[in-house]
Structure 1
Amino acid sequence: KVALQFEEDWKERVYDRRYVALAHGELPKSQGTVSSYLKDDSHYVTHSSQEDNGGKFAVTHYKKLKSGNGYSLVELQLETGRKNQIRVHLQDLGCPVVGDLKYGDGSDPIGRLGLHAYKLCFKHPVTGEDLKFTSDIPKAFSAVVEAI
């Protein structure tokens, strides 16, 4: 019962979800917002457009945590939750997620996709209690930025 209720009103209950990404390149600003319409093509590749292309509107807020050695460690907060939103929006900024063969440049210094969900906050579907879950940022993400 709880699982079904949670699934039905996920968007209403979740009030904060954040990710951290290791991006290839230097972000143009220390923080900002990316918004665009996202639409899949016939090959399931998501494309971003500033004009309404029939896709779904997506908003991502970002903040650079660290940068160095040609990489940026970025905190991302989703206002919307679209498929591949973070990956496409970082590509829009010219700083693709490392290890992303679909939307990136093939850079893979950590041997995995450089995207990690680290914070999720939501109201319990039955009790209404605020629940907050966090996960440490992977050490490999910071190590790439700090490597000499």
Structure 2
Amino acid sequence: MHWFYELQEQMTVEELLREEWGLGKKIVHELRMAKGVTHDEAPVADWKATLPKGTVLRFDWPDSDSPYTADADTAITVLFEDEHFLIARKPKGMNTHPNEPGETGTFINAVIGYLVENGHSYGEHIHRLDQGTSGLVIVAKHPAAKNIADRMLEKKLISRNYEAIVNGSVRPAEGVIDEPIGNDRHHATRRRVSPNGQAAVTHYRTIRKENNGNTRLHLTLETGRTHQIRVHLAHIGNPIVGDELYGAEPEMDGTYALHAYRVSFVHPFTHAKVVVEDPIQL
């Protein structure tokens, strides 16, 4: 695959790859060996030569494969796609990725099936959602995009917003839950607020009170701990409706009311603001 990138200031190819994008040594080496960078005038032989602002670089990226089995029989809803990223909806009840080699039926298997049908061979999720959570997941379509997006996630440059319906009234109506999260030694898969856990910060805001006395919230993550929203809301006494693992009464269909409805970030290659929303009725 190939794409073009216009330098935003004067710099060398080496500076762009290592400092601006923060690519790892392996990826940079593969690109160098493939002679995968050219510009307007000629092939870039010297990666240390300073190029002027506005220089258009062409990247010819070697084909890469993902370790996941393609599942072409499972349809997915794609809400954004370009040559670098794909953003699609993960349904409730589906794992984001396989938990063991050869496993199929997950979101990323369906994404790979979609990509293969459209002439691509690589796809890696940037973040994950719990099996019972529906919503938007960002997928990188080549290794450089994966590398850069991982770094953006670490630096909190990707915003993720959720909607949830919780039991009861939430007081105060908006706020920040800043409580560390660790493993629950009494349950293999459950997490809990623990002074020895990892730092976790969740912002919440009440949208409205439901007719049945429950509360609809919008939430934003500063961190991405396992079950973070579920743990934090249960900790303040307002577990998500249907989330039996964290103290709520189970729903008839076994699901719980949490949906990742919005993601946003500044595109690292085009510098455009990307905002994708997927509001659904919980």
TM-score category, normalised to shorter length: 0.7 to 0.9
The answer as to whether partners of 1:124 and 1:130 remain within 8 angstroms in 2 is: yes
AA of the residue aligned to 1:57: A
Unaligned runs of 5+ in 2: 1-143
Structure 2 equivalent of residue 121 of structure 1: 264
Alignment match of 2:191 (pick from 17, 24, 46) = 46
- TM-score, normalization: structure 1? 0.81
Structure 2 equivalent of residue 22 of structure 1: 165
| SS of residue paired to 1:56 | coil
- TM-score, normalization: structure 2? 0.44
Alignment match of 1:74 (pick from 201, 207, 217) = 217
| SS of residue paired to 2:276 | strand
| Cα distance in 1, alignment partners of residues 252 and 177 from structure 2 | 25
| SS of residue paired to 1:102 | helix
Report sequence identity in percent.
32
Structure 2 equivalent of residue 144 of structure 1: none
The structure, 1 or 2, with the larger RCO (C-alpha pairs under 8 Å, 6+ apart) is 1
Q: Does 1:59 align with 2:204?
A: no
The answer as to whether partners of 2:152 and 2:158 remain within 8 angstroms in 1 is: no
Number of residue pairs aligned between Structure 1 and Structure 2: 136
Q: Aligned pair in 2 of structure 1 residues 37, 101: CA closer, same or farther (>3 Å)?
A: same
Cα deviation, residue 84, structure 1: 0.6
Give 1 or 2 for the bigger CA radius of gyration.
2
Cα deviation, residue 5, structure 1: 2.9
Structure 1 equivalent of residue 278 of structure 2: 135
Q: Aligned pair in 2 of structure 1 residues 56, 117: CA closer, same or farther (>3 Å)?
A: same
| SS of residue paired to 2:246 | coil
Q: Does 1:33 align with 2:160?
A: no
| Cα distance in 2, alignment partners of residues 47 and 81 from structure 1 | 14
Cα deviation, residue 115, structure 1: 0.2
Alignment match of 1:91 (pick from 231, 234, 239) = 234
| Cα distance in 1, alignment partners of residues 230 and 163 from structure 2 | 11
Structure 1 equivalent of residue 7 of structure 2: none
